[in-house]
A and B are shown apart, each in its own frame.
Chain A
Amino acid sequence: MTDRNDLNLFVDRLFANKRKTKAVMELKQEILSNLEAKVADCMSSGMDYQEAISQAIRDLDDIDSIIDDKQTVYIHRYRYDVMQGALLYVFIAWIVTIPARLTLSGVMVNTLFMVLGIAGGVLLLTMLQKGFPSSAEIDQVDTGKIGRMIRRVWILWGLFAIVITGYSLLIKFGSDLWFGRQVGFSGPYDFYETMLQLVLPLTTIIIPLATRKAGQYITKYEVKQS
C-alpha cells in the first residue's frame, strides 16, 4: 500500500529528532494509525489520495507540545551510572595528563584530576554501599531541561576553548607578530610547553562529555510502564 509508505515517511520525519523512549515510540505508532484512519476516511468520502494525505497531516507540524518532557527513571541507578561515567572521564583525563607533569601547570592540572578522581571514587563507593545499582527508587527527570542544559554546557565549553586557545596563542606569539619577529620555538622543550598550554585547557572537554552521557542514560533507565 502506497499510502502507508507516505504516512510512514511523514511520521518518521516528525519524530526524527525525538528521544526514542517507549512512550514516544508509542505516540508515534498512535499518530500513524490515526493518520491512516483519517486518510482512509477522507478517501472514502471522495477525496483523491494526495488531497487526503495533505488534509490528514495539515495540523501536525510540531509535536514538541505533546511529547512529555517528564520522564520517570530509576533515579538511583541513573545517578550511579552518571557518576560512574563522569568518573571514567576523570580517570582518562588524569592518565592523559600524566606526561604534562613536566611543567608546573601540568602538575596542577594532573593533580586536580587525581583529587577529583579520588573524591568521585569515594562518592561512588558510598553510592554502591547504599545499594544504588539495584535500587528500585524512581523519580521524574525533566528531559527538556536536561537537553537545554547539555546544549548550554557545549556552547560554554566551545566559547571557553576558543577564548583560552586564542589567549594562549596571543601570549606566546602576539608580541612576535606585533614586532615583526620570526615566530618560532627556542627548542623542543619550549615547543612541548607551548603545546601543553594549548592542549591542557581542552581536557575540560570531559565536562560536556559527561553531561552528554547524563542525557543518554535517561533513556537507558526509563521506567517502562505498561
Chain B
Amino acid sequence: MESLHNSDLVRGNIDAFILRVLLDADNYGYQIIKELGIRSGGRFELKEPTLYSSLRRLEQQGLIRSYWGQETQGGRRKYYTLTPDGRERFKVKWQEWQAARAIIDVLIGDGKELASGDGQK
C-alpha cells in the first residue's frame, strides 16, 4: 500500500506507535523501526528522520527518557524508556483510538462492517 505512509490516520499516530513499542520494552532507534516493520507485517516502514524528530518531541514532552547503552563493540546505542507520564499518555491515546475507530467504522463504513463483518452492501 503506497498511500499508507502519507495517510493522516497513520502519520498522526506515529508517536503512539513508538510509545506502544516502548511500553513492551526499552529500545533504541533502529530496533524501534524494525519492531514497527515486523509488527505491521512489513506494511509500515518508519523513516529515520521521522523517528528522530518523533523521539525528540516525545522526550521534550517528558513522555520518554533516554540513556546510553553499555555496548562494548561499535558505537553506543541510545535507549529510550517510557516515563510514568508516557504510560499515562499511551493509555489516553489507546482510549482515543478505540473511540475513534468505532466512530470511523460507523461514519465511513456505514456501521455494516461491524455487524456483518463482510463489508458488502
How many residues of B are in contact with the other chain, CB < 8 A?
A: 17
Q: Is A176 an interface residue (CB 8 A)?
A: no
Among B28, B53, B56, contact of A37 (Cβ-Cβ < 8 Å): B28
In the complex the two chains form, is A31's CB within 8 Å of B28's CB? no
Q: Are B49 and A37 in contact (CB-based, < 8 A)?
A: no
A33 touches B28 (CB 8 A): yes
Segment from B18-26, B74-82, B91-99 that makes contact with A: B74-82
Number of interface residues of A (CB under 8 A): 21
B48 touches A33 (CB 8 A): no
Q: Which residue of B lies closest to A8 (CB)?
A: B75
Closest to B54 in A: A66
| CA–CA, A32 and B77, complex, Å | 9
A68 lies within 8 A of B56 (CB):
yes
Cβ distance A99 to chain B, nearest Cβ, rounded Å: 54
Contact across chains for B53 and A65 when beta carbons are under 8 A apart: yes
Q: How far is the CB of A54 from chain B (nearest CB, A)?
A: 14
A residues whose Cβ falls under 8 Å from a Cβ of B: 4, 26-27, 29-38, 41, 59-60, 62-63, 65-66, 68
If A33-B78, A41-B30 are given as contacts, then 10 extra A-B residue pairs at C-beta distance below 8 Å, sorted by A number, are A26-B78, A27-B52, A29-B76, A30-B29, A31-B29, A33-B29, A60-B48, A60-B49, A63-B49, A65-B49
